[in-house]
Structures are given as structure tokens and as C-alpha cells.
Amino acid sequence: MKLTVDQLHITLDRSPILHGVSVEARKGDIVGLVGPNGSGESTLLRAVYRSLRPVDGVVRVGEDDVWTLSARAAARRTAAVLQDATGNTTGLTVTEIVALGRAPHHGLLGRDGTEDHRAVEDAIDHCGVRPYADRDYASLSGGERQRVLLARALAQSAQLLVLDELTNHLDIRARFELLDLIRATGITTLAVLHDLDLAARLCDHLAVLHEGAVVAAGPVLEVLTPGILRDVFGVRASAERHADGVIRITYAAQPLARDETAAPEPAAR
Amino acid sequence: MIVAISIGAVNVPLDDVWVIVLHHVTGVGAAPSDPALDQIVWNFRTPRVVLAAPVGAALAVSGAVLQTVVSNPLADPIVLGFSYGATLGAVLVITLGGGAALAGLGVSAAAFIGAVVAGAPVFVLGQRRGRLAPTRLVLAGVAVGYVFLSATSFVQLQATPTELRTVMFWMLGSVSGAHWDQLPTVAVVVLVTTALLTLFGRRLNVLLAGDESATALGVDVNRLRAVLLVLSALLTGTVIAVAVAVAVAGSIGFVGLMIPHLVRLTTGADHRRLLPLTALLGSVYLVLVDLLSRTLNRPNELPLGILTALLGAPFFLWLLRHNKGLD
């Protein structure tokens, strides 16, 4: 399902975070949101999964403004894997966590049916978490947990996937494996990634957020120009497609001095 | 329960208890031969044993729900200030009402209102940027609790010795003032609210995933909390369950903390299982504690608060040492 973010303005605690942000993802596209810390990526994601109401502008998933949908209807279209500091999942098994993904499909009196069961089992298989399906979620490693959360999102049977730093704190192999899992779903995806190499590997398109505005958007190589890398990210670097088809970024030995970049100090979140 | 009824300051043989209870419940069988025994069993002991069950269930279920709603495994009606609010409400009625009948309906209603009055500011102060901040919430609960506690002490200072005795016993918790006429209200409220909360089980599970994740799973987190905690007390029962339990039996500490964690440790955290089992274990536990409080120091009674704290405090410490979710 396609995603259209149109001229989005968002204010948090009276300070404007996003100023007229527009981003698009066509059906099946994987779009990466990149930018220095505090540029407003997570805020944009919150608007997409209907957690923040914009001051102005609109988020459409499919043809509908997410705020014309109920919370549950929106969650049947959009699933998210987030960096969530709150919450306490102690005592839930992996299968129980994945089954949380079925919540938007039920009202208060809803009971699990065969469709729920199948969605949960398929998600468990797709993400390869079967070997620890009965274990306590709290006992898993970081990489295993992220797979479980991805499985939960897939069990939601949504047509848009929103990912916030899914691969943070994971070892390199776990990162690559997760990227493969995401690609294999074929679901339209909007992903915040701080690692530009991973973003280039995973995404069809990138949108660069800087100080609450999109400063560049398009195919990866068109976006990651030396100018953007210097002015937005503050590094001397270049991106190239290598012979194996993978886009890699080469960073210069010397970083730019702070006063050489057009970018100011990253704003505190 | 039958055993619990038979044991007390005067032991009644089990056979006799059966005969008496059966006679009253079904009208079958001969009338009890000894009117004194009948009086003890049916008018004193049976009501308190039968009342201890829903009170235990209510305390334990409210603890389980609060722990999830505020994302803090150490939450219970006391930590969040509810109990002290309820206490103040009840103490006000007892003293102003000139030593009104212990645990009468007036006291219950006042305690319920007190719990809500204490709970509301705790939940407002416990938020940051419109989202619940677990640490702030607990601190707010403790602070608000102190305010209500000092207000209660002030009221007690103004009370007459007779009122004071009533107040003291009420605050430490006892189901010995149980009467048959309280039972239907308490039982119905506890049963209905536990059933309703169990219906919310799936959403409570989602809440375990964290606020933002729960939002992305289609749960309106703030509204769910409000529904569970404040606005719809009758539907959800968290607050009313606390208030009912506290109002009828005084602040019986730790049941709300111990029982839910015991159930979680043994059968997991899925609320659709957790809440009914917690209710069951809570009732069994409180019937047992009531039994102990009547028998350990025969013929005197130990107030329940002392016993539950004696059992609860070490458990609380053990929990602090072993809970991985706290870090």
C-alpha cells in the first residue's frame, strides 16, 4: 500500500519539529529516512503510525488520511517496530509477543481464530524465530528480539511497515539478516536508519531530513552526493555503486572540522 | 473455606460447620442443635470468610492491572497513593459520623471517592509530555500518599478515643466486622469488574509492549489508561476494586503486590490468564491470612495488615533483587 506524506507540520511542546515535510513511498518501495540525530525522523514516523496529530498537512496510507481512520483500522494498515523505552514484557513468551500483532483485528469480545493462528505462525516462520518460539522474550539476545518484533509487525497483516532503527546495537551479521528479512516481505516500508551504508543497502529511495525539513529525496545515489554528505552529515565522503551492485560509502580519513560544515550542531532531542 | 470457618477462638467440628452452612444455604437438613454454635458459624465466621475471598481477589487483581497500566512491577494501590486516599475518606466519615458503623456503606463510598481523589493527581503529575513516565508516577504516588497520610493523622488527632479505636482497627485491616448485608455488593462488584478487566486482557497485553508500540498496535493508550483507571471506574474496576477492598477490610497491604507476581512467575504474563488466576489466588490467600490472624494469637486477633506486611515485605525485597525488568 502506498504512503503519501504531504506538507506535514508537527509541533511538540510548542516547538516546531517538522516544517512542511513531504515523503512518498510507492507500493512495494523501501524508503529510508536518514539524517543527523534530532532532525525529526522519529517524529515523522510517529505521525505515520498515528501517534502524533499534525498541526497541518496529511499522512495518507493507501488513499485515506490516517486520522480519518480509527486507531485500530490504522493499525491494520500500518505496523511499526520502534525503539520503545517504556513497557515491560517480562513474562511473555515469543509466541505471545508475536500474537500481540493480532490486537488490531479484535474488539473487546474478539477471540483468536484460525486466521489469527495462521498469521502468527507464518510470521514466526518468516522471521526464523521458531527455535525459540516458546522462550521468554526477556531471555533473548538483541538480534533475536528484533526478529521477534519484526514477526509481531508481520502478524499484524499490515501493508505498510514502519521501522525505527531496527538494527541498532546489533552485530553486523544480525543486521544483514534483518535487512534480508525486510526485503523478503515485499511490504512497502519506511525505515529510519542512522547507518548510511545499511540505508544504501536496504533502500530503493532515501529522504534526507535536516532540521525538520526534507533536503534531498530520490534514488540512493542521487541523494548521497558529496555535497549532502558534507553539508548535512558533516563528513567528507562519497557513495559509489561497486562491481557487486552494492552501494558503499567511502569516508575520508579526516572528518570535517565543525566550522567547515554548513550544518549546525545537532539539536538536542 | 469450610475449614477456615471451623477454626477460630472456639473450634467448631467440621461436621457441624457443614450441617449449619448447608442448613442455611439450602434449607435442607435439621436445624442446628446448638444455637450458640449456629450464631458463631453463620453470623460471625461465615460472613468474614466469605467476604475475605472477594476482598483478596479485588486487591490482587487491582495490583496486577496497576502494574501493567503504569509499566511498573512494583506498583500497587499503596505505592500509587490510592490506599491513603481511601483511608482519609473512610477516616473522615468515621470521625465526622461520630464513630459510624464499621465498614458501613457510607465508609465504603467515602473510601472509593478518596481513592479517586488521590489517584487523579497522581496520574496527572506522573505524566511527561502527555505520556506516562513510570518513575515520575511512582514518585508522585508516594508524595500524594504522604499528603493524604498526614491529613489522616491530623483527623485522627481531632478524634475521640472511641472513634480512634475504630479508626485504628479499620486502618490496619480486618474483615472481622463482616456482615451478611455487605456481601452481595462486594461480591457483585468484584466479579463484574474482574470479568470486565479480563475482557481488556488483550489490550493490557499490548500495553506491555510500551506506549508507542501499543499505539502502533491500534490501542489508544491514554484513553485505555483513563478508561482503566479513572473515568470508567464501574466498567474497569481497578480503582473501585481497590476502594471496595480497602473500604470493607482496611488497607491490607502487599496482597496486590505479592499475588500478581506469584502468578506471573508461574503461569506467565498474559492477562487473559493472569487476571482470573490472580483473583482466585488472591481470595485463597486472604482467607488463609484471615484464618491465621484469628488463630495465631488466640483468642485475640492480629489485624491483617500486620500479617500481610510480615509476609509481603520479604517478598518485596526478593522481587527487587531478582526482577530483570527493573533495570
| B243-265 pLDDT, tens digit each | 445 544 544 666 788 888 888 88
Average pLDDT over every residue of B113-120: 79
- For the entire predicted model, the pTM comes to 0.82
* Interchain CB distance below 8 Å, B264 and A91: yes
* Interchain CB distance below 8 Å, B268 and A85: no
CA dist list (Å): B323 to A88, A261, B88, B319: 11, 47, 33, 6
Residue (of A99, A216, A91) closest to A149 by Cα position? A99
* Interchain CB distance below 8 Å, A51 and B134: no
Work out the burial of residue A97: count CB atoms within 10 Å of its CB; fewer than 13 is exposed, 13-18 middle, 19 or more buried. buried
User: Over the stretch B268-310, which tens digit does the pLDDT of each residue have?
Assistant: 889 999 999 999 998 888 888 878 777 777 667 676 667 777 7
User: Over the stretch B13-26, which tens digit does the pLDDT of each residue have?
Assistant: 777 777 777 777 76
User: According to the model, what pLDDT value does residue B191 have?
Assistant: 84
Nearest CA in chain A to B135: A86
Residue (of B79, B53, B85) closest to B66 by Cα position? B79
The yes-or-no verdict on residue B105 having pLDDT over 60 is no
Q: If DSSP states are collapsed to H, E and C, what string results for chain B?
A: CHHHHHCCCCCCCHHHHHHHHHHHHHCCCCCCCCHHHHHHHHHHHHHHHHHHHHHHHHHHHHHHHHHHHCCCCCCCCCCCCHHHHHHHHHHHHHHHCCCCCCCCHHHHHHHHHHHHHHHHHHHHHCEECCEECHHHHHHHHHHHHHHHHHHHHHHHHCCCHHHHHHHHHHHHCCCCCCCHHHHHHHHHHHHHHHHHHHHCHHHHHHHCCCHHHHHHCCCCHHHHHHHHHCCCHHHHCHHHHHHHHHHHHCCCCCHHHHHHHHHHHHHCCCHHHHHHHHHHHHHHHHHHHHHHHHHCCCCCCCCHHHHHHHHHHHHHHHHHHHCHHHC
Chain B hits for A97, Cβ within 8 Å: 209
DSSP A201-256: HH-SEEEEEETTEEEEEEEHHHHS-HHHHHHTT---EEEEE-TTS-EEEEE-SSPP
Distance from CA of B69 to the nearest CA of A (A): 9
Confidence of residue B221 (pLDDT cuts 50, 70, 90): confident
Distance from CA of A63 to the nearest CA of B (A): 19
The yes-or-no verdict on residue B234 having pLDDT over 50 is no
Residue (of B167, B138, B159, B307) closest to B250 by Cα position? B167
Which of A88, A104, A110 faces B218 most closely, judged by CB atoms?
A104
Nearest CA in chain A to B67: A88
Which of B129, B132, B219 faces A103 most closely, judged by CB atoms?
B219
User: According to the model, what pLDDT value does residue A267 have?
Assistant: 43
* Cell numbers 470486565: residue: B196
User: According to the model, what pLDDT value does residue B214 have?
Assistant: 93
Nearest CA in chain B to A11: B129
Distance from CA of B88 to the nearest CA of A (A): 32
* Interchain CB distance below 8 Å, B210 and A82: yes
User: Over the stretch B117-163, which tens digit does the pLDDT of each residue have?
Assistant: 887 888 788 877 767 777 788 888 889 889 988 988 888 787 777 77
Nearest CA in chain A to B203: A103
Higher local confidence (pLDDT), B37 or A268: B37
The yes-or-no verdict on residue B232 having pLDDT over 60 is no
Which of A70, A92, A100 faces B217 most closely, judged by CB atoms?
A100
Nearest CA in chain B to A70: B218
Distance from CA of B270 to the nearest CA of A (A): 7
User: According to the model, what pLDDT value does residue B261 have?
Assistant: 86
Distance from CA of A94 to the nearest CA of B (A): 12
The Cα B86–Cα A239 span in angstroms is: 65
The Cα A12–Cα A130 span in angstroms is: 41
Higher local confidence (pLDDT), B172 or B71: B71
Cell of A156: 499484524
CA dist list (Å): B2 to A116, A203, B19, B28, B116: 44, 69, 11, 17, 36
* Interchain CB distance below 8 Å, B208 and A87: yes
User: According to the model, what pLDDT value does residue B19 have?
Assistant: 75
Which of B205, B216, B265 faces A49 most closely, judged by CB atoms?
B216
Confidence of residue B57 (pLDDT cuts 50, 70, 90): confident
Cell of B76: 500497587
- Per CB distance under 8 Å, which residues of A are interface residues toward B? 12-13, 46, 49-51, 70-76, 78-80, 82, 84-93, 96-97, 100-101, 103-104, 106, 108-110, 138, 152, 156, 162
Average pLDDT over every residue of B83-95: 77
* Interchain CB distance below 8 Å, B212 and A108: no
Nearest CA in chain B to A90: B325
Q: pLDDT per position in chain A (269 positions), as tens?
A: 899 999 999 998 888 899 989 999 999 999 999 999 889 999 999 999 999 999 999 999 999 999 999 999 999 999 999 987 667 777 889 999 999 999 999 988 878 889 999 999 999 999 999 999 999 888 898 889 999 999 999 999 999 999 998 888 888 998 999 999 999 999 999 999 989 999 999 999 999 999 999 999 999 999 999 999 999 998 899 999 999 888 999 988 777 777 665 554 444 44
Label the pairing between strands A64-65 and A56-61.
antiparallel
Which of B73, B270, B323 faces A92 most closely, judged by CB atoms?
B270
The listed range with the strongest mean pLDDT (A158-167, B74-83, B109-118) is A158-167
User: According to the model, what pLDDT value does residue A95 have?
Assistant: 95
* Interchain CB distance below 8 Å, B217 and A110: no
> What is the percent of chain B where pLDDT is above 70?
69
The yes-or-no verdict on residue B173 having pLDDT over 70 is no
Chain A hits for B262, Cβ within 8 Å: none
* Interchain CB distance below 8 Å, A86 and B211: yes
Cell of B54: 472477594
* Interchain CB distance below 8 Å, B264 and A104: no
User: According to the model, what pLDDT value does residue B181 have?
Assistant: 62
User: According to the model, what pLDDT value does residue A260 have?
Assistant: 65
The yes-or-no verdict on residue B203 having pLDDT over 80 is yes
Chain B hits for A80, Cβ within 8 Å: 212-213, 216
* Interchain CB distance below 8 Å, B210 and A86: yes
* Interchain CB distance below 8 Å, B129 and A13: yes
CA dist list (Å): B125 to B111, B119, B231, B297: 22, 10, 17, 43
